[in-house]
A and B are shown apart, each in its own frame.
Chain A
Amino acid sequence: MSVFVTVGTTSFDELIALVSEEASAQILRSLGYHKLILQIGRGSVKPKPRRSGAFTMQVFRYKKSLQNNIRQADLVISHAGAGSCLETLEEGKPLIVVINEKLMGNHQLELAKQLHSNGHLLYCTCSTLMETLQSMDLSALKPFPAGRPEIFAAFLDKVVGFE
């Protein structure tokens, strides 16, 4: 099983430094994850890729689309960016959102918080991430229903007079 960590187009050094520590690798291994892929954006912490025994870690900055990485992951750990959250939930992947406490008041947090209170994702800070990993019950997360643009289309047809 593999874990994909993504910070989008921003940087989140604290998170990247934390998950790339050996102690974190051990926790992940104990949970059955043997592959860790880090998308680090414009962060200044750039861990070296490594392969030790049954555990591998890959690192990259950006990609045109992260969809493949999300699809191949069994667990996604993400910053609170709306794009990353929605993309992950739409792929039906379990998601842990890690709040960057240095960015409090950012409107992006609103969405992650709401999705958390609706039971679609787990929500923590860097200091509680390892605890969250060890105590999480991913099967309790609720699937995220897809948006329905066809309702908008029907509404608009009525508004402009197409029937």
Chain B
Amino acid sequence: MLKFGIQLLLAAVILLVLIFVFLTRLLLVLRAGSTHKPGKTGPLTVFTVAGSGGHTTEILRLLGSLSQSYSPTHYIMADSDKMSEDKICSFERSRGKQSSKFQYFIHRIPRSREVRQSWSSSVLTTLRSLLYSLPLTFRLKPDLVLCNGPGTCVPVCASAVLLGILGIKKVIIIYVESICRVENLSLSGRILYHFSDYFIVQWPVLKEKYPKSVYLGRIV
């Protein structure tokens, strides 16, 4: 009985130490964002999360302003998203005409959350998407994740943060809240406000409510 008690205590101590190490690493990774300058060593591998309901249109406008040093671009989208791929391909075709240096790839993962899906079941479906986004992130090791709110960006950003926690690579996470959000953040926004390196909003009201955010005016 005593032996069992000691084992239990030991397990609890190990667990606590692991949690402590994890949280310390998390804090370090999240703080490293402002000093990490991967662009100094050459072009950047970009992860972009696409999503129906206007997300893809907005993210393509942002990508359209970036130089060819942001290449290759890996688009990640929910497997049930039918509209985004056409938009992405036509965008990349026209960008490819300007410079052959733009390379892109499209990856599909299971949808992390349907519109109006409940919180509790969203947790499960998000974990399922995480199972697919983790190997993708570990294999491609992006320098940058650029996203603007489809549910799929939560597991993708979680994978990117984990890459940093494990000391494999610091990934810079840029979150741009959709122009549609004037007074309140989206669910993804509320979560990723805490885990992104730069959180950009497009209306002054949100900047006031969320002081850590960056306001650059209307950018899409």
Contact = CB atoms under 8 A, between A and B. Distances in A.
Interface of A: 82-83, 86, 107-108, 110-111, 113-114, 145, 147-153, 155-157, 159-162
A110 B219 contact: no
Interface string B185-209: 0100000000001101011000000
Given A149-B61, A149-B62, A161 B219 contact: no
A145 B40 contact: no
A83 B83 CA distance: 14
Contacts of A160: 37-39, 44, 143-144, 172
Given A82-B54, A110-B183, A155 B67 contact: no
Contacts of B182: 110-111, 113-114
Given A111-B180, A155-B216, A156-B66, 5 more contacts: A110-B181, A110-B182, A147-B218, A160-B37, A160-B44
- Pairs A-B, 7 closest by C-beta atoms: A161-B37, A149-B65, A160-B39, A161-B39, A82-B180, A153-B65, A162-B39
A107 B219 contact: no
Given A149-B61, A160-B39, A160-B144, A108 B180 contact: yes
B57 interface: yes
Nearest to B53: A83
A147 B61 contact: yes
A145 B39 CA distance: 31
Given A159-B172, A160-B38, A161-B40, A110 B184 contact: yes
A152 B181 contact: no
